[in-house]
Structure 1
């Protein structure tokens, strides 16, 4: 039996988790073929295969496309709750931080600005390489709170491993601390630290 998994665009450690679930459902000599878009995922899948006593092979198909073949040998079938070995560290060059300081994008019409900001945050969820962190402060603090039109998109980013950090001073100032609905509260020191360490900063 052969199972195919398209894991391109999925944040670490999802490719490994999907592969492990497929392997658990396989019998001896069954094959799991996983397509990923980065070398870190390839290496994590190699570690997974080694930890399960499975056969492993990989091939680079294109600029951002790799094929990994894992053949289940059954050598690990008597082990339970095996820890999945993954490395999810992000190189400094890929440490992109998105800084949002308002509910509106740009200057001018307020209604248009809110529409543009909603579209901007949705567009973030569609990027092939997601940012590492989204910083929300001043008016941007409203975006991570209840009733925000961008809340579901921010939750999607959070689910993919993106840090969603909202300024605590700003939440307190606007009286919306109890309405925070995604991510966690941060402080000015961490806001400065995240931007100082960023490989790239995006401001809408």
Structure 2
């Protein structure tokens, strides 16, 4: 999945009032690149998830995983940070745990417990998955534009610079279909959002239903 395709899905989710995490969570598996990692000494590793089992069905505890890592010269850590963690090992590589989300954000590779145990036992490189798309999907609450950034934002750069221009750009980006020519596109004077309503006589409202209801 390309960045442009993800951007389109995020935009549609925003128009449907869906959380963009729903999009990224469902598409992560299609944006993860498979790589290999050599378990060199002093490599920092964090573990997440419980219930991991060996091939013979016996359970592997978190303490055992820490001990295995230490025996191979690795340094177990308790949290996933940009500079303090180089590998995340999870029971399920597709997990959406808080640690996994941080790993995706910082482009830290993720491996399964099974692969980690096999790599430490054989000395072979560890298969890992790295989220190919770096950044957080953001949608501007004023104009509906979408972009990616290192951290989540609510208003795009253009709207911060020129709030008046946001309404125009948003109106152009959400045209009314020809079959709905009897529908007016209105722009809220307070939040700059647009909404549609059936064309009627009389004065047009200057505030969207949300802003009017909050008054």
TM-score, normalised relative to structure 1: 0.26
TM-score using structure 2 length: 0.25
When Rg is computed on C-alpha atoms for both structures, the one with the higher figure is 2
